[in-house]
Amino acid sequence: MGFNWSQVQWLVAALSVGIGFGLQEIVANFVSGLIILFERPVRVGDIVTIGETSGIVTNIQIRATTIRNWDKQELLVPNKEFITERLLNWTLTDQQNRISIPIGLEYGSDTQLALRVLKQIAQNNERVLDDPEPLVSFDGFADNALTITLRCYLGTVDGRIDVITELHQTIYETFAEQGLVMAFPQREVHLSARQPLEIHLQRSPLPPAAA
């Protein structure tokens, strides 16, 4: 082309560096894809959580892996994130998982009764495992409540939300029957008496029937 190497060598060197930087992410995802295929930290059909996304792995390719979330949206995740970021695989070895239900009781409640009721509710649910057995703990004294937590295990991820809903509903109904009151945030308001308080009285308008 009529050019000497000494005239274009710096241009070639700059292009080589630029192409190298541009391809490093592609190369990293390619190598990560090979690691995924050989080590199999995730497989098609696994339920995973990466970052703020949870869903089912539907496809694994050399550059990216496809995750379908619970809204049926498909997210393409670069393979590098599966290797370098924290990955939670719910079904890597088995589908057994634990759910925790924290409950706040108002001060003065019968905590022994609450512990027995929660244990019985978990044992009566057919989808809650007996081994490991459900665990109920009195965790502490919060600002507005006595904190109690129910922890139990499920044999599969399927129906996890249904079981949580069933337990919540049963706990709410049983506590009402047993007279166990759940706490809610309370605030005390102190009025300063350093100066006289201004009090305004206003008559509310009566409805036509009352008039």
Nearest to 12 by CA among 120, 95, 4: 4
Find out whether 90 and 49 touch, Cβ atoms under 8 Å.
yes
Q: What is the CA radius of gyration of the chain?
A: 30
Going residue by residue through the chain (211 aa), what tens digit of pLDDT does each one get?
565 656 556 555 655 655 555 556 777 777 887 888 888 888 999 999 988 889 999 998 888 899 999 899 999 988 888 888 888 998 888 889 999 999 999 998 999 999 999 999 999 999 999 989 999 999 999 888 999 999 999 998 888 999 999 999 999 999 999 999 998 877 777 777 777 777 788 887 766 665 4
Biggest CA-to-CA distance, the chain = 106
Peptide bond into 41 cis (omega under 30): no
Overall pTM surpassing 0.85 (yes/no)? no
Read off φ and ψ for residue 144, nearest 5 degrees: -120, 5
Q: Is 49 exposed, middle or buried (0-12, 13-18, 19+ CB in 10 A)?
A: middle
Distance CA 145, CA 139 (A): 11
Question: How far apart are the C-alpha atoms of 55 and 75, rounded to whole Å?
Answer: 9
The phi and psi torsions of 202 (rounded to 5 degrees) equal -135, 130
Collect all residues with Cβ–Cβ distance below 8 Å to 191 and sequence separation of at least 6. 197
Task: In whole angstroms, give the CA distance from residue 94 to residue 97.
Answer: 9
Extract the tokens encoding 80.
């590098």
**Angle between the 160-178 and 111-124 helix axes, to the nearest 10 degrees?**
140
The span from the CA of 6 to the CA of 32, in Å, is: 39
Domains parsed from the chain with CATH numbers:
9-89 (2.30.30.60), 97-178 (3.30.70.100)
Q: 121: which residues sit within 8 A by CB, 6+ positions away?
A: 150, 167, 170, 171, 174
Q: In angstroms, how far is CA 27 from the centroid of its own chain?
A: 32
Structure token pair of residue 184: 């809610």
